[in-house]
Amino acid sequence: MKTRDKYSYLGNSKKKTFNAIGLMSGTSLDGVDIALIKTDGDKKIILNNFKTYQYSKPLITNMKKFINTRKGIKSTNYLLTKFHADSILSFLKDNNINYKEIDIIGFHGQTIYHSPNESWTWQLGDGKYLSTLVNIPVVSNFRYRDICLGGQGAPLVGIWHKTLLMNIQNINYPCVFINVGGVSNITYIDNINNTPFSFDIGVGNGPLDLVMQKFFNKSYDVNGKISFNGDINHKSINNILNDPWYKTPPPKSIDKNYLNHLVFNNISNLKPIDQAATLSKLISIQLKEALKFFDKDPKCLYISGGGAKNIAIMEGFFKDYNNIIASLDDNNWNADAMEAQAFAYLAVRSIKSLPYTYKIITGVNYPTSGGLLSLPNNH
């Protein structure tokens, strides 16, 4: 097993562009997204194949047990990494790609705990082991250096959003990307020449998915149908939004466990269907409040993540912003692939020692690269 300095790896390569795979497993614990791009880690990008591989039930059970008890870290880490490796090999086979054609993999891992105020972030998954299993170099541990240098360690995809915009024409600025995943976050780009502004907004699909799974035997609220039939409890929403974290100005990021605790402390006394309705409304209100933070109103708006498909969340949002909401499909962007593509891109920036976090995004002391490069034994 070898873990080497990123400079030595790059020094042995004369490549200007890299075939990079990105892996993203979100806080919803449902599976891993795999995306392939070609990029120089700067302005050039070509978006290629994408696929999601659903976690097996035993793996989900194992991870939830570990999250709740903190027991069995070795077995959980092994199972998660092995699943990512098997998924990569299936992805390559499905797309008739030889592993030798892939230069680098960006492996985010499964976030278990994130507390920048404690200078601690924890993602399950072993980059060294993954590299050995698939015989391809892997960059992992993307957040740690940023946190060590005074940053929040997240969000990380703002620079990717900017690069996407650089590759299309006729964009009206300011432009905003909102991701409603397990946790919601936002990227605001007021000019293509400026550093993007990103921060976590707050609650995403995570708590709503937990309500669906616990009370309705569903993975998520399909099209918001269940939420539509419940009553919204505005007192609960106000209590959540008055939490000190929501009052803290950016840069900021948040741990899903903190949000889950905050949410269920305020809605657990409601009927399950009313919990769903209240959560959907909360998310919608958050998105609007986040946009009020900026001096200039956006002229284009892209929405991704599972919440973008939930009409109960989006209905009120569309009423106010329908005239500026742009379609990801118009640019041949896949909303589901965006975060996995981002980590493929960040992996290339990492091995080229290009920064991907900035003071305006995470609060880090200066523009910072990061990541740990692991090489298989034959490199």
Mean pLDDT, the chain cut into blocks of 10 residues (379 residues total): 50 77 84 96 97 90 82 88 97 97 96 86 94 98 95 96 93 94 94 92 95 94 95 98 96 93 98 98 95 93 91 86 86 92 98 96 96 88
pLDDT reported for residue 11 = 46
Whether the domain at 2-152+337-375 and the domain at 158-331 fall into the same CATH topology: yes
DSSP secondary-structure letter at 325?
Answer: B
Structure tokens at 35: 């995306």
d(CA 379, CA 361) in angstroms, rounded, equals 35
2 contacts 25 by C-beta, under 8 angstroms: no
pLDDT reported for residue 7 = 47
Q: Which residue reads 């060294």 in tokens?
A: 128
CATH 3.30.420.40 fits 158-331, yes or no: yes
pLDDT reported for residue 120 = 86
pLDDT reported for residue 1 = 38
Strand partners, 174: none
DSSP secondary-structure letter at 224?
Answer: G
pLDDT reported for residue 328 = 87
d(CA 89, CA 98) in angstroms, rounded, equals 9
CATH superfamily of the domain spanning 2-152+337-375: ATPase, nucleotide binding domain (3.30.420.40)
106 contacts 116 by C-beta, under 8 angstroms: no
- Convert the pLDDT of each residue in 177-198 to its tens digit: 999 998 999 999 999 888 999 9
Secondary structure element (H or E) that encloses residue 35, with its range: strand 31-39
45 contacts 163 by C-beta, under 8 angstroms: yes
Nearest alpha-carbon partner for 353 in 145, 170, 117, 194: 145
pLDDT reported for residue 13 = 56
d(CA 121, CA 371) in angstroms, rounded, equals 13
267 contacts 233 by C-beta, under 8 angstroms: yes
pLDDT reported for residue 221 = 95
The chain-wide mean pLDDT, for the chain, equals: 92
Domain ranges of the chain: 2-152+337-375, 158-331
Helix 256-267 / helix 234-241 crossing angle, nearest 10 deg: 140
